[in-house]
Every structure is written in structure tokens, then in C-alpha cells.
Structure 1
């Protein structure tokens, strides 16, 4: 659409950029088209973000923030569920988000393909946030059972859980495997079995 008199907000510019990057990828998304879709101009886009790379980084950063904001509070809902139920809840929450947000799914795939260093640091930061939260849940369970693993290992277990989920998400994005229900059930079974083996009574 043609530029309007009203200046678009940063969020409106980022919305247009997200749609373009998700549909065309980083290399093929044009700044002129993004500006036009946002009802703005190319100079305005550069004035706000400086470069296409910075714009892309801002788009991904905003989406990762949304993921954390949307998913992380759900982790507290597991309450006093057992290990199997907790794992199933956590996996289902993540899978449901991926399933319900195809544009975000495409954006993450594009960022993986771009292999940009700023993106790697952001993903690592997000990984740390989720690992810390899962570690809290694991430690809570270990306090109630006579586990064969030491109390210093909840974070390692959490890293295994989160890492497995990230690896599966990468597989889904890269290979276009969108059978979310089957994949969620597979990961839940895999992790539940592993946790049972690690935490069974002596």
C-alpha cells in the first residue's frame, strides 16, 4: 500500500518485516517492499533500524521475547504433577505454540539458515532461560524421591530436556515435518523414559 500521512510504529514496521522474512527468507526480502507493506518509506526503515541485518535481528528478538512471555508462565502450571505428566505438559505447550504460529515457525527456520552470530547469542540466551525454569521443576521432583542422581544434576537434566526439544524443533523446521501430535508424543515418551531411568529408587 502507498505511504500514508501517519507514521507507522516500530511494531508495524516489524510486523511487515516479519511477514516478508518468513515468506521470502532473509536474502530475498527487500527493504523497499517491507516499507511499502508497512505504509512507510525505505529511508524511514533505514532511519529506524540502520540496516537490513539490524531489522532482521530486531524481528527475531521480538519473536523470541514473545515465545518466552507466552510459554514460560505455562511451565508453572505443572504444579504437583508427576514426572511423566510434567514432561507431557511442557512438550505440549511448546508444540502448541509452534503449531499455532506458522509465521514464527518460518521466521525461526530462516534465522537458522541465515546462521547470523547475533541470532546464535539470542537463541543461547533463550535456551538458558528455559533450562533454568525446567531445572527448578526437576529439582522439585528430586526432593520427593530417593533418586540415584545427585542434587547437583537438575540443571544437566534440564539441559537434556530443553536440548532435545530444540533439536526436534530444528528437525521440524528444516525438514518440514509438521506432524506435531506424533512428534510431541515421541519426545514425551523418550524423555519420560529417560527421566524414569535416572530417578528410580535405589
Structure 2
């Protein structure tokens, strides 16, 4: 992950943020009424931190309750079991990540076309920073190890995270191609390729060597070069 204290250009950034500073406490928790929001957030915060620290299999409900407080009754009522709690952690994290891109998404492709390289760099840095942060890599490790047993949760991850990002990028590439700013025949394929380029082997490194951080300097250099290569192959 990028060094602590560093930030991406997106609204203060999330690359390098620890669990406590992700800002996910501000999101409402599905299934919790107003009076139960604080308890639900505490459970999700504890679960997220423990999944990062210990992984899914080694994290018990007792561990989560010991750290968060509250009762098993509350946990079962709102999340069902540990798998339900993991799903809620995953969905909240994906919502948080997509919210970070809201300002850029709201601007729309036409506004982003001005200063195209810099805007794509910002998008790429956000994506790469997000995918190499501790909570994301913890979620991905859990999905790899448990995905065969919980396929509905694995599919949900793609629906609430990667598929939305790819769809938005594809819309941008399509509009820029129609305006003559880029030369792209397959916008969705280009979106997949762009994400693959800006992430590259950084994600593989984080998944295999979780204790070896990726510095912000390395991340910025990698993304900048990837964006330039992408544009070199897609500009008219």
C-alpha cells in the first residue's frame, strides 16, 4: 500500500489510509435502524480490522464482539452470521471506494476530456491506490480462498465494485471516441485494459507479499507511465 499519510488527488485520497481513517463510518449500514447504526458500525469496523489482521477463517465472531462490544443477538439480527458480516463489510467498502470517485463521475466525460491525460492519471491513481490498500487486498484474499464456498458473495463483489467502475470508464471512452479525442473500437475492452495497465503487478505483489508496502512514489510513477502508454495507443 502507499505510505501512510500520502494521498491520491481524489478528495484527500484513500491510498495509504488505515482502517480507522477510511471514512466508512459515515455510511449507513443496510438493515440497521437509526438507533442501531452505532452498534452496526462498530461491528463492521471491528470485522474489517480483524479480517485485515487475521483473515476470514481465523477471525471468530467472539473476536469481533470482543473488539466491538455488543451482543451476538445484535450481530445475528442485522448480519445473520460471519459470512453476512463479511458481505456487509465488502459492500460498505465498495460504496466508499465509488464515493471517492463521485466528483469525477459527476463532472462527466465531456468535462474530463479537457486535460485528458491528467484526469486519466487521477482516475488510474485512485484505482491503483484502492486495489492495493489493506482492506481491499484482505477482501480479495478472502474471496479467492472462500469464493468457491460463497459464490453469491464473490459475484456480488464484482457487481458492486469492478463492474460499476468498468462500466463508467467504458462510457467515458465511448464518448471520447465519438468526439474524436480517442480511437477506441471496444470501450469495455479498453476499460479492462486500462485498469490492468495501471494496476499491473502491484496488486499481485500486495496479495502475495502483504507486509511489503508499495510507496506512493512508486505508485505515482507506475500509473503515470501506464496512462501515457495507454494514450499513446489510443489517441488518433
- Same fold, judged at TM 0.5 (above): yes
CA contact (8 A) 1:83 1:195 kept: no
For 2:172 and 2:78, locate their aligned partners in 1 and report how far apart those are by CA, in whole Å.
Answer: 41
For 2:171 and 2:48, locate their aligned partners in 1 and report how far apart those are by CA, in whole Å.
Answer: 33
Unaligned runs of 5+ in 1: 1-5
For 2:137 and 2:182, locate their aligned partners in 1 and report how far apart those are by CA, in whole Å.
Answer: 41
How far does residue 9 in structure 1 lie from its aligned partner after superposition? 2.5
The structure where helix makes up a greater share of residues is: 1
> In structure 2, do the counterparts of structure 1 residues 91 and 157 end up closer, same or farther at CA, with 3 Å as the change threshold?
same
* 2:189 is the counterpart of 1:156: yes
For 2:137 and 2:124, locate their aligned partners in 1 and report how far apart those are by CA, in whole Å.
Answer: 20
* 2:93 is the counterpart of 1:91: no
For 2:228 and 2:154, locate their aligned partners in 1 and report how far apart those are by CA, in whole Å.
Answer: 29
Equivalence map 1:110-129=2 (5 Å): 110-116=141-147, 117-125=151-159, 126-129=161-164
* 2:225 is the counterpart of 1:195: no
For 1:70 and 1:149, locate their aligned partners in 2 and report how far apart those are by CA, in whole Å.
Answer: 26
For 1:12 and 1:93, locate their aligned partners in 2 and report how far apart those are by CA, in whole Å.
Answer: 27
> In structure 2, do the counterparts of structure 1 residues 74 and 87 end up closer, same or farther at CA, with 3 Å as the change threshold?
same
Q: Which fold has the larger relative contact order, with Cα–Cα distance below 8 Å and residues 6 or more apart in sequence?
A: 2
How far does residue 25 in structure 1 lie from its aligned partner after superposition? 0.7
CA contact (8 A) 2:197 2:226 kept: no
> In structure 2, do the counterparts of structure 1 residues 122 and 17 end up closer, same or farther at CA, with 3 Å as the change threshold?
same
For 1:194 and 1:12, locate their aligned partners in 2 and report how far apart those are by CA, in whole Å.
Answer: 42
Match of 1:18 in 2: 48
For 1:154 and 1:48, locate their aligned partners in 2 and report how far apart those are by CA, in whole Å.
Answer: 40
CA contact (8 A) 1:87 1:191 kept: yes
How far does residue 88 in structure 1 lie from its aligned partner after superposition? 0.9
Give the TM-score taking structure 2 as reference length. 0.67
For 2:121 and 2:218, locate their aligned partners in 1 and report how far apart those are by CA, in whole Å.
Answer: 13
* 2:173 is the counterpart of 1:138: yes
SS at match of 1:9: helix
Give the TM-score taking structure 1 as reference length. 0.76
CA contact (8 A) 1:72 1:130 kept: no
Equivalence map 1:62-81=2 (5 Å): 62-76=92-106, 79-81=112-114
For 2:40 and 2:199, locate their aligned partners in 1 and report how far apart those are by CA, in whole Å.
Answer: 29
Larger Rg: 1
Unaligned runs of 5+ in 2: 1-34
* 2:91 is the counterpart of 1:42: no
* 2:59 is the counterpart of 1:29: yes
CA contact (8 A) 1:16 1:37 kept: yes
